[in-house]
Amino acid sequence: MGDNGTMMTGVESLRLPSAEVAAGYRAKGWWRDETFLDDLARAVATRPDHPALIAYEGDTPRTISYRELSELVERFAAALLSLGVGRGDVVAMYLPNVWQLTPLWLACGRIGAVGAAMFPSLEERELRFTLTTTEAPVCVSLDRIGDVDIAARVAAAAPDTVRHRVVIGTGSTADALDFTGYFLDTEHPAADPALALRPDEPAALVSTSGTSGRMKAVAHTSNTLYAAARAGAEPYGLGPDDVIVVPHPHLHMAGMTYGALMPLQLNATWLIYDRPHDMALLLDTVERHAVTWAYMAPGYLVDLVAAQRDRARDTRTLRRIVSGSAPLQPDLVESVRETFQVPVHALWGMTENAAVTMTRPDDPDDWATRSDGRAVPWMEVRIDAEDGEESGRLLVRGASQCLGYLHQRDVYDASLDGDWFDTGDIARPDGRGGIRIVGRRSDLIIRSDGLKLPVLLVEGLLARHPGIKELALVGYPDPAVPGAELCCAVVVPQGRPPTLAELHDTLAGTGCARAFWPDRVQFVWELPKNSVGKIQRAPLRRRLELAAAPR
């Protein structure tokens, strides 16, 4: 285990901020000499009994004040130390939106450890990647989610580096340490304050779904996350009296940034649910707890409108809804405005930098359907277009940009153009100083909940099927959620064409997450290719879009 100066294994593969860059960001107020632990301490000093977290387990809420949250952080930190977690070690968290998540993440920072976020839809294959890459000695998971034995999945995926598997709940068949017994019911020696992470050290590793063919562990510091959290708050004037809800998984970038860290930085209140897609429950709690601000992908908004129209709640406290991950369609924005009498704002960002651009209160009411907004002051955007072209590749840089990908320095460096990060998206100017995303060079498929399907990875797994000669995964419009996509496997068969069920069985056998499986299969004699043999997806996509169009 490391001493007080040790950072995590593999830190040499990251681009740590230089003293000059850090000083410049601090001089402009974009970074600070504090962490989220200081935000917690400030809340304890000024409003100890204010609700920090209201967590729903089913229909039952649990309210945790800032004083109680601070006590939980100290208790969890002591428990991690007693498990042998040292400064620079990684604690893997494979959890849905449960109340234990936030104090556990803060406890990692309290002892100088790094929290590795693994969102619940990752399955055995993806878990193994993250646990192996991070060399985490401890992994905390739930016992079950529905019919799935989550703890058993972790046990099957865990490499030798995972010395302690800790489980919340008693419903798993796996042999593991009981979280309640060890973290809550057992006293451990207190942590030395000198162990706490410094603002510019790696603090979080966030798993991506591998949209370029390889999963990545994206590294952020407390300061890059602080800049990211500010991006969701400052354009909309949020403060300590706001109540914030983000139904997205809190171990994905949007959920972590706006659902947990932003309310903490504001000393505000945030709501979480163990049933994130239950929009009826979310609306009940908007009414019950006077929610003021919400972030959710378009797929959630569709269900939110339907649930409110089915049974109206008093949502007058809700002032703004912000959406990202997929384009907003005019009909959806109008439906939200008519149903809730609030505007919808568009936000664009990535796991690598969280929120970079967003539409603002002074934009036209329907601007979110035509723009992805203007950059926050601490982030810059650049459209690199060819001569005579309006659209071009989108590059960004600034204070919320990540440190890179753990153990994949070459992959991150390949995305850099000088000190600019190439996002892989194509954008054009929106006419008001902002951008509009018009394409994705990596041919992403974005589902209704904002999950990005890793096309190249899944294609490689499906290619193992003996009935497939060639294939391409192509997105097509999701009829239930405007702007979102479903996935079609376009297959050149070899012998008897495989059924969709057989493709699913092939992916299930590899441990690939169910969320990445295709929704339909279509057969062709050959795939369109360019002069160098690369598959051209655009013609396939147009064909599917035409087939999906209403007649």
pLDDT at 1 over 80: no
Helix (H, G, I), strand (E, B), or coil: what is residue 385? strand
| Residue 537, pLDDT score | 83
| Residue 211, pLDDT score | 46
Report whether 360 contacts 345 (CB < 8 A).
yes
pLDDT band at 161; cut points 50, 70, 90: very high
At 74, phi and psi to the nearest 5?
Answer: -65, -40
Report whether 43 contacts 50 (CB < 8 A).
yes
Average pLDDT, the chain: 92
CA 303 – CA 324 distance, rounded (Å): 15
DSSP conformational letter for 529: B
| Residue 172, pLDDT score | 93
Report whether 544 contacts 476 (CB < 8 A).
yes
Tokens of 487: 């996935």
Residues pairing with 416 in the sheet: 421
Q: For the ranges 32-36, 189-193, 210-214, which has the lowest average pLDDT? A: 210-214
The pTM (predicted TM-score) of the whole model is: 0.86
pLDDT band at 238; cut points 50, 70, 90: very high
Q: Which of 473, 467, 463, 494 is nearest to 540 (CA)?
A: 473
pLDDT in tens, 445-504: 888 888 878 787 788 889 889 999 899 999 999 988 888 899 999 999 999 999 999 999
Q: Which of 383, 318, 317, 319 is nearest to 348 (CA)?
A: 383
How is 394-463 classified by DSSP, letter by letter?
EEEEETT---EETT-HHHHHTTEETTEEEEEEEEEE-SSS-EEEEEETT--EE-TTSPEE-HHHHHHHHT
Residue that is written with structure tokens 């590749």 in the block: 393
pLDDT band at 437; cut points 50, 70, 90: confident
Q: Which structural domains are found in the chain, ordered by start?
A: 36-428 (3.40.50.12780), 445-548 (3.30.300.30)
Helix axes 36-46, 101-110, angle to 10 degrees: 110
CA 360 – CA 37 distance, rounded (Å): 30
CA angle 492, 495, 499 (to 5 degrees): 70
CA angle 253, 257, 260 (to 5 degrees): 120
Q: Which of 224, 346, 276 is nearest to 119 (CA)?
A: 276
Non-local CB neighbours of 424 within 8 Å, separated by 6+ positions: 212, 393, 415, 440, 441, 442
pLDDT in tens, 291-340: 999 999 888 999 999 999 999 999 999 999 999 887 788 889 999 999 99
Helix (H, G, I), strand (E, B), or coil: what is residue 492? strand
Q: Which of 100, 65, 86, 63 is nearest to 180 (CA)?
A: 100
pLDDT in tens, 514-548: 999 999 999 999 998 754 456 888 888 888 877 76
Tokens of 103: 């104090």
Q: For the ranges 136-140, 318-322, 423-427, 543-547, which has the lowest average pLDDT? A: 543-547
- How distant, in Å, are the alpha carbons of 111, 306, 345, 438, 548 from that of 480? 46, 12, 21, 22, 11
